[in-house]
Structure 1
Amino acid sequence: MSVDEYAQARPSAALLPYVGFYSGYRQRGLAPATHRGLPSPYLTLVFTMDDPLDVAAHPDPRQAPGRYDALLGGLHLSPALLTHPGRQSGVQVALRPLGCRALFGLPAAELAGIDVDAAAVVGASAVAEIRDRLCSASSWPDRFAVVDDVLRRQLRSIRVAPEMLHASRRLLRNEAPVAVVAAEVGWSPRYLTDRFRAEIGLRPKEAARVARFDRARRAIGPGTRLADVAAAHGFADQSHLVREFRALAGCTPTRWMADEFGFVQATARLMAEDREHDRLTTTAGLADAAGR
């Protein structure tokens, strides 16, 4: 019997400033497939439940393919390629860039463009506990609660400059150009670029580019006109959107939709809700955490 499950949930209130959402997946009895791990405004943290995660190609081509019981990937500008033999299962955590310090004590920049064994950052005991409890849990809400419980215990006091909080929110939502955001926080564009890259791992323009691409790709569905998506998300025209897909996804929008639409359907609504949550609460939540 084939199994093809996707589930999503938000973290607890304590983790909302640092984690966007959780995604659970379980597939069995399907055809072997390759999944593209696309550039995103979130870091990717994956805890597998059964088989290890097979990464056939990392965003950095200098990294050799590998198998991971748990993986943490930084922000990147090219896709990863993940393969499975017809079965895979686990929980994926969408980690906000400024949450990397709060949970793991290091800037997201240290992980930019690479994938690492999560045990090296999260801790071997924490990874082992999560995976053991995930396999024992009987439902997706219970599995998400497991991850939430362990990550809450990882939280530490942090101090993030309010200028960086403001710049991150504005730039990752494509709300203003770099020069405008720099003026808002009282920094020069060059200084903002240097500080942003040292903390996040991408330059401000690169981060804004990834965020725009991420929103556009999640707006694509059956019957959607690419020209309309391009116009709604700040691309010059449809050709510009297609070029960005080739550059960041390694394929055309049509090819991506054919390969990935089931997963996109499962996650698009939660992503839209998360963007609204960012608008309303992220800055306030991180500001509170910075002052703890």
Structure 2
Amino acid sequence: MAGFRIRGDRPIDLRVIPHPAVTVALDFGDRPFDIRGAAGRMRSESLAAGLGFRAFQVCVEGADCVQIRLSPLVAHPVLGLPLAELRGSVVALDDLWGRAVPRLRERLHRARTWPERFALIDTELMTRFRAGPGVDPEVAWAWRRIVAGHGQTRVSELAGLLGWSRQRTWSRFGSQTGLTPKRAAMLVRFDRAVHRLVRGDAPAQVAVDSGYADQSHLHHDVRAFSGTTPAGAAHEPWLAADDRAWPARGGTEWPSTVRG
């Protein structure tokens, strides 16, 4: 979870890069996000981006915002729907939570400190998590195994290890996370690789360590997920990456606080 402010004398464009989590953002300063992606354009003071979304642009003239990343194991009950229904799309959170969103935004606006705002979000998420539909233990196990293996898990073996047929594994995993096990592994592997690029590691070494056949395969995945080259991704001040990718800019106040 991250809380941040953006201040500037002109609109700022940010590219939101896919992450192995569902991304949720709420602005509580009455400045809507101008969101532009493959599905078109929308303006909203809240958003929810499904697991494995395609990179999209967000233009802001200023923001007071809380950003949340939800594991698909948590997002399924919190959002209240199977992630297959959201897939890689970007929607207004209001479309999923209804009138609860403007009420939450108002409470965030009235809160005086970031810890207060984080506590409000924690309460909302926990309430929804307890009331929502759970994820199959087998799907949760498969997801955790893919993450623990940094996306290099042999997904062809998952069904056998679970004791499920391949068809049942792919069907249940896909309906509850919005991705096939293979696509999930690709996303997790990309995420680890791109964070190493941000740290300044050489693309050739990143490709080897991340399990890519060669550097061209790394280049292909980075382009497919982020819409830019490895060199471009290493310097992209995107909204959905970690603190290393939140550079200082003249006239802009980047996140006041970040909480894991």
Q: Structure 1's 36 and 261: CA in aligned 2 closer, same or farther, altered over 3 A? A: closer
- Indicate the residue corresponding to 2:222 in structure 1: 245
Offset of residue 99 of structure 1: 1.6
Residue 169 of structure 1 deviates from its aligned partner by 1.3
SS in 1 for 2:127: helix
1:162 maps to 2:137: yes
Change (3 A) 1:180 1:218: same
Q: Is the 8 A contact 1:196 1:202 kept in 2?
A: yes
- CA separation of 1:222/1:147 partners in 2, compared to 1, >3 Å: closer, same or farther? closer
Give the match for residue 116 of structure 2. Answer: 142
Establish whether residue 32 from structure 1 lines up as the match of residue 6 from structure 2. no
Matched letter for residue 127 of structure 2: R
Instruction: Note the alpha carbon deviations across 1:34-53, whole angstroms, 9 max, x for none.
Output: 22222221111111122111
Q: 1:82 aligns with which of 58, 63, 68?
A: 58
Give distance in 1, aligned partners of 2:132 and 2:64.
33
Which of 23, 27, 44 is 1:68 aligned to?
Answer: 44
Name the residue aligned to 1:254.
231
TM-score (norm 2): 0.84
| 1:54 alignment partner AA | D
Q: How does 1:104-119 map to 2 (within 5 A)?
A: 104-119=79-94
What residue identity is the alignment partner of 1:214? D
- Measured in 1, the distance between the counterparts of 2:57 and 2:117 equals 25
Please say if residues 34 and 83 of structure 1, whose CA atoms lie closer than 8 Å, have aligned partners that are also in contact.
yes
1:48 aligns with 2:27: yes
**Structure 2 equivalent of residue 194 of structure 1:** 171
In 2, Cα distance between the equivalents of 1:30 and 1:267? 24
Alpha-carbon contact 1:76-1:112 (below 8 Å) kept: yes
Tell me the alpha carbon deviations over residues 53-111 of structure 1, each in whole angstroms, 9 at most, x when there is no partner: 11022xxx2x33011111112123521111123x2231111011122332233111110
TM-score normalized by the length of structure 1: 0.75
Between the aligned partners of 1:68 and 1:226, the Cα distance in structure 2 is 36
Q: Paired residues, what number?
A: 243
Q: How far is 1:27 from its partner?
A: 0.9
| 2:163 partner amino acid | G
Structure 1: state its 5+ residue gaps. Answer: 1-21, 275-292
1:151 aligns with 2:131: no
Higher relative contact order (CA 8 A, sep 6+): 2
SS at match of 2:4: strand
Pairwise CA RMSD of aligned residues? 2.4
Distance in 1, Cα, partners of 2:199 & 2:155: 34
Identity %: 34
